[in-house]
Structure 1
Amino acid sequence: MKPEMIHPEIDPSEQPRNDLDRVIHGLGNLLSLLFIFTVGISFYEVLMRYLFDSPTIWVHETASFIGGCLFVYGGSYAMATNKHVRVVLIYDIVSDTTRRYLNLFHHILGLIFTSLLIWASFQMVEDSWLSPLGDWSLETSGSAWNPAFPALVKGTIFLTICLMFAQFFLHLIQEINGLRKHKNV
């Protein structure tokens, strides 16, 4: 399916640029339904706490875990839909050729940055998933419920940053190909 076919009413520059972006976009739209679930369980907690004087031990940590994971995924989603932060004051006044070079610079810096984040987040995951002796032992919250959410959030961070690295790489290739076509025209 062509990008302009996904949402024809949206600016084509905000459409996913490749198959990976389309998957990220579709998955992000599905995952956004978890916000409704989070609101639902939070409402349940309020009812249990204030109407029945019987608070839960799991809602707060579950809502925080879901929200944290969705927040992390948002970076990849923003990149897939070209809604990441940029200095539009400069970007919007330059020529198309200059924009292409700015995009090239952005993607190269993104690759460097995500490479460093992958290394750092891998260290974080390793520490939260393995004991000092190397045994499998997920870090837990330490609460009465004690879920392994801290380790799972760190794993989500690592996977999402790897995904963003792949996005930067694919976008860099597309930008280079776009520059070649632009020069040949």
Structure 2
Amino acid sequence: MQDEIHPQTPDSSDQPRNGLDRTIFKVGNLLSLLFLFTVAISFYEVLMRYVFNAPTIWVHETASFLGGCLFVYGGIYALATNKHVRVVLIYDIVSDTTRRWLNVFHHIMGLIFSGLLSWAAYQMVQDSWFTPFGDVRLETSGSAWDPAFPALVKGMIFMTLCIMFVQFSLHLIQELNGLRKRDNV
């Protein structure tokens, strides 16, 4: 019965709480393999530059792009696995009921935060993906290779912030349902 009231038992606190979180967790584990790819292409760049004196024009920007996208994804991954930053000095010494109310406060603040940042990211995407006349033209890096990575990273930021808003909404609903069930028991 305790797991129904408090789905986040000490043993399961890092487990995804719902279908969205489980999907984020699985996709994140797959995407983490891109770190290996980033290391491999960085090694390739070092080899080409310092051994063969033939540097590439694409490795640095590609590695930065992948690292940036993975870093942004890390935010929703941390929220999905309950690994986000909190003041554990206070959180760990309060009762379960107080902890639940702290979670409700956290989710409400997270909703506000992710909602406002989503709006700002939308403005950023609009400026980097469209001309003033509405034609699609992705912002590029301006380098010799000139990929559209800046626009794509901004799109990734917007997408993950929207997902984070949904996550906070789902977590808030789950937390409020847990409080209601606890009061009814």
* TM-score calculated relative to the size of structure 2: 0.94
Pair 1:32 & 2:27 matched: no
Q: Once the 2 structures are TM-superposed, how far is the Cα of residue 76 of structure 1 from its aligned partner?
A: 0.2
Q: Aligned partners of 1:99 and 1:32: how far apart in 2?
A: 31
Residue 109 of structure 2 corresponds to: 109
**Paired residues for 1:22-61 under 5 Å:** 22-61=22-61
**Paired residues for 1:16-165 under 5 Å:** 16-165=16-165
Q: Once the 2 structures are TM-superposed, how far is the Cα of residue 97 of structure 1 from its aligned partner?
A: 0.1
Q: Aligned partners of 2:135 and 2:19: how far apart in 1?
A: 38
Amino acid of the structure 1 residue aligned with 2:67:
G
Amino acid of the structure 1 residue aligned with 2:27:
L
Which gives a bigger RCO, structure 1 or 2 (Cα 8 Å, sep 6+)?
2
5+ long unaligned stretches in structure 1: 1-9
The share of aligned pairs that are identical, in percent, is: 77
Q: Once the 2 structures are TM-superposed, how far is the Cα of residue 59 of structure 1 from its aligned partner?
A: 0.1
Q: Aligned partners of 1:29 and 1:80: how far apart in 2?
A: 12
Give the RMSD, CA atoms, in angstroms: 0.9
Q: Aligned partners of 1:47 and 1:112: how far apart in 2?
A: 47
Q: Aligned partners of 1:178 and 1:56: how far apart in 2?
A: 55
* TM-score calculated relative to the size of structure 1: 0.94
Q: Aligned partners of 1:34 and 1:174: how far apart in 2?
A: 32
Q: Once the 2 structures are TM-superposed, how far is the Cα of residue 184 of structure 1 from its aligned partner?
A: 1.5
Secondary structure of the corresponding residue to residue 13 of structure 2: helix
Amino acid of the structure 2 residue aligned with 1:163:
I
Per-residue CA deviations over 1:41-75 (Å, capped at 9, x if unaligned) read 00000000011000000000000000000000000
Q: Aligned partners of 2:32 and 2:72: how far apart in 1?
A: 12
Q: Aligned partners of 2:116 and 2:134: how far apart in 1?
A: 24
Q: Once the 2 structures are TM-superposed, how far is the Cα of residue 11 of structure 1 from its aligned partner?
A: 3.1
Structure 1 residue ranges, 4+ long, deviating more than 2 angstroms after superposition: none
Per-residue CA deviations over 1:88-129 (Å, capped at 9, x if unaligned) read 010000000000000000001111111100110000000000
Amino acid of the structure 1 residue aligned with 2:125:
V
Q: Aligned partners of 1:11 and 1:153: how far apart in 2?
A: 36
Amino acid of the structure 1 residue aligned with 2:72:
V
Q: Aligned partners of 1:178 and 1:71: how far apart in 2?
A: 31
Q: Aligned partners of 1:152 and 1:138: how far apart in 2?
A: 8
5+ long unaligned stretches in structure 2: 1-9
Amino acid of the structure 1 residue aligned with 2:108:
I
Amino acid of the structure 2 residue aligned with 1:42:
S
Amino acid of the structure 2 residue aligned with 1:144:
A
Number of aligned residues: 176
